[in-house]
Homo-oligomer: A and B are copies of this chain.
Amino acid sequence: MIVTVTANPALDITYRVDELHVDAVNRVTAVASRAGGKGLNVARVLRCLDAEGVEGSGVPVIALGLAGGSCGEVLRADLDAAGIAHDLIQVEAETRRTVAVVDSRAGTVTLLSEPGARVSGGAWAALREQVRARLPEASVLVLSGSLPPGLPADAYAVLTMEAGRHGVPVVVDADGRALSLAVTARPEVVKPNAAELARATGLPDLADGSARLRRLGAGAVVASDGPGGLDADTPDGRWRAVPPQTLGGNPTGAGDAAVAAIALGLAKGWDWPRTLVHAAALSAAAVPAPLAGDVDLVAYRDNLTRVALQEKEPQCR
């Protein structure tokens, strides 16, 4: 069982407009909304692979986290409709929204991201307890996305240590202080993107930043570099996995698909080269899918044969 945690989920709303005019009234031509947030996207991708029988037996997944208010209700209903197992703690704080405005003519995507309401100290205690209760049956713990106001900055560090006591490997996909603190608790893998890695380490070079995070405690660092693919620094070696070129699409959710593949690799005991090929292929298969959390399974299978995996020289430390 892969357990994902989404402390700050969102109701993701997508608006399509013919042409976005700033400082004017824009008629929305199509509305879509779904449960979002990085950990829920990871769960959605894993659920999709499991349901479609991709990668053999698949691995069941459960989504944990916090949800509240009317948006929280809509979010739960959407997870139910998608067949994603979840156990979200009911909090008083209203679940936030994100609004993505897609300009059909220009092809631009303008994202408006609500910060999320402050959650209580009780919510954090309940989330800790909930994760702890799931660890005995967990094969991997995935900690993804931002922390809402009210959660301590070391929340991911605390949960990583808890998982360590149960021998459960942890994948962290976070930013800023949440990431910096989490690495000190020795997660199996961290998956920052290039900008997050630079922010966390102050080092603009990907290889330098990854080496720094490993020295600080991360078991492996898989840095996502947009169309450039994945740059991995692991105990078994260093690789870059470059997916085939994709034309256009929506890169939101590509990182979450990579995390899903990494979690799957850990759960199934794959070696790093296999995990990285799957992660790059699945990540690229998220781009043609219109909504974050969706992957194009035909593209995924096709990409698997076309990812270029380059081993890099061992780095002097």
Contacts and interface: CB of A to CB of B under 8 A. Distances in A.
Contacts of A23: 103, 106, 108-110
A54 interface: no
Given A70-B70, A70-B74, A28 B108 contact: no
Interface stretch (A111-119, A224-232, A255-263, A308-316): A111-119
Given A70-B71, A70-B74, A99-B99, A25 B108 contact: no
A27 interface: yes
A26 B113 contact: yes
Contacts of A70: 70-71, 73-74
A28 B114 contact: yes
A57 interface: no
A277 B31 CA distance: 41
Contacts of A106: 23
A215 to B, nearest CB: 30
A22 B112 CA distance: 10
A43 interface: no
A247 interface: no
Counting chain B CB atoms within 10 Å of each CB, the highest count among A20, A28, A73 belongs to: A28
Interface in A238-253: none
Interface string A1-43: 0000000000001010100111111111101000000000000
Interface string A87-114: 0000000001101010100101111111
A113 B22 contact: no
Contact of A27 (B25, B71, B73, B113): B113
A112 B24 contact: no
Q: Which 10 pairs from chain A and chain B are nearest by CB? A: A23-B108, A70-B70, A25-B111, A28-B114, A22-B110, A26-B112, A70-B74, A31-B114, A28-B112, A15-B112
